[in-house]
Amino acid sequence: MLDLDLVDPSQPDRATALFHRDGFVVVANALADDQFAYLKAGAHRVVAQQTAAISRENANRGFARYSFGSQIHHPEWAMLVDLPTILPIVEAIFNSPLFVCSGAGGDYSLPGAKIQKLHRDMSDVINDPEQRVTIMDVPTPFVVVNFPMIDFSAENGATRFIRGTHRSRHPIPSLEEEPDWMKHAIACAPTHSAIFRDVRCWHGGTANTSREIRIMTSVGYYAPWFRRPQQDGEMPRAIYNTLSERGKTLCRPLVKIET
C-alpha cells in the first residue's frame, strides 16, 4: 500500500506541492458528516438504478466495474462543485481562479470485480506530428477530485496510483507486464477525504474481494487554458439556480439550454 501523506484542507500550498510532485494528493476532512451522508445516499440510489438496468457481466468498465457517467444533473453531485475545502486547492494547483467545472461522476466496483489495467484518463490531444510537445509536457490541464464513499482498503478495490507518472512519456505497462510493486501501490484513502488527481497520472482499480460496493464519486475542473470539445454532461437550470455565485460561474459552460 502507498504511504499516504494526508493533508488538511487548510494547507493548500502543501497539498499543491504534493500534487505536482506525485500527480495526486489526498486531503482529509474534505466533506462534513452531513455532506458525506447526503452524497453517499445519492450515490447508492444511482448505483441501485444502474445495476438494476445493467448486469455486472455487461458493466461498462469490465466485469462488475462501472463508471457512473455524468451525474451533474443530481443535486448530490452539484454540491461538490464549490466546496470551500476543495476550491482553494484547485485554485492553487492552477495558480488561477479562472478554471471551470468539467462535470461530475465517478465509478464503483461490485464484489467480484477484477483488477483493472493501469491507464490515464487523457490521451495526447496535442497530437504534434513531430512529438516535440505532448500533453505530458504541459502543466496540469485537468483535475479530478474523487471522494471515497467507503474506507478504501486492499480488499474492497481501492485505486492504485503510480507516483510521478503524470508527466511521463513512458508507455504504460500492460497488466501482464506490470511489476508487483505497482499492483500494490494502493491508496487506502478514508471516507470524508478527497483525492485530487492529475488525470494523466497512471492509475487503476484493484480487485474487490470484499462484500461491499466500492464507490468513488467525483467532480472535475479544467485549467483556464484547457477545454475539451465535448461536454461532460449538462446541468439543469433548476440545479444551476441553487448554486452559489462562484458555483454558477464554474458551471456556466454546463448549463442546459432550455427551449
What is the per-residue pLDDT for 9? 98
Residue written as grid cell 465535448: 230
Q: Indicate if the pLDDT at residue 253 is higher than 60.
A: yes
Q: Is residue 259 part of a domain?
A: no
Q: Is residue 3 part of a domain?
A: no
Count of the separate structural domains present in the chain: 1
CA angle 216, 60, 183 (to 5 degrees): 60
Q: What is the pTM of this model?
A: 0.96
Which grid coordinates are listed for 78? Answer: 452539484
**Residue 257 pLDDT grade (very low, low, confident, very high; cuts 50, 70, 90):** confident
Q: Indicate if the pLDDT at residue 81 is higher than 60.
A: yes
Q: Is residue 71 part of a domain?
A: yes
Q: Is residue 1 part of a domain?
A: no
Q: Is residue 2 part of a domain?
A: no
Please name which of 19, 11, 46, 12 lies closest in space to residue 161, comparing C-alpha atoms. 19
Tens digit of each residue's pLDDT (9 = 90 or more) over 49-74: 999 999 999 999 999 999 999 999 99
What is the per-residue pLDDT for 259? 55
What is the per-residue pLDDT for 215? 98
What is the per-residue pLDDT for 232? 64
**Residue 258 pLDDT grade (very low, low, confident, very high; cuts 50, 70, 90):** low
Residues counted in the chain: 259
Q: Is residue 238 part of a domain?
A: yes
What is the per-residue pLDDT for 228? 86
What is the per-residue pLDDT for 229? 76
Q: Is residue 6 part of a domain?
A: no
Q: Indicate if the pLDDT at residue 231 is higher than 80.
A: no
Q: Is residue 53 part of a domain?
A: yes
Q: What is the CATH number of the domain that holds 43?
A: 2.60.120.620
The pLDDT of 136-158, averaged and rounded, is 98
What is the per-residue pLDDT for 200? 98
Secondary structure E strands in 47-141: 65-67, 100-109
Tens digit of each residue's pLDDT (9 = 90 or more) over 4-40: 999 999 999 999 999 999 999 999 999 999 999 999 9
C-alpha 250/C-alpha 252 separation (Å) is 6
Stronger pLDDT, 9 or 259, i.e. the higher one: 9
Q: Which domain holds residue 123?
A: 12-254
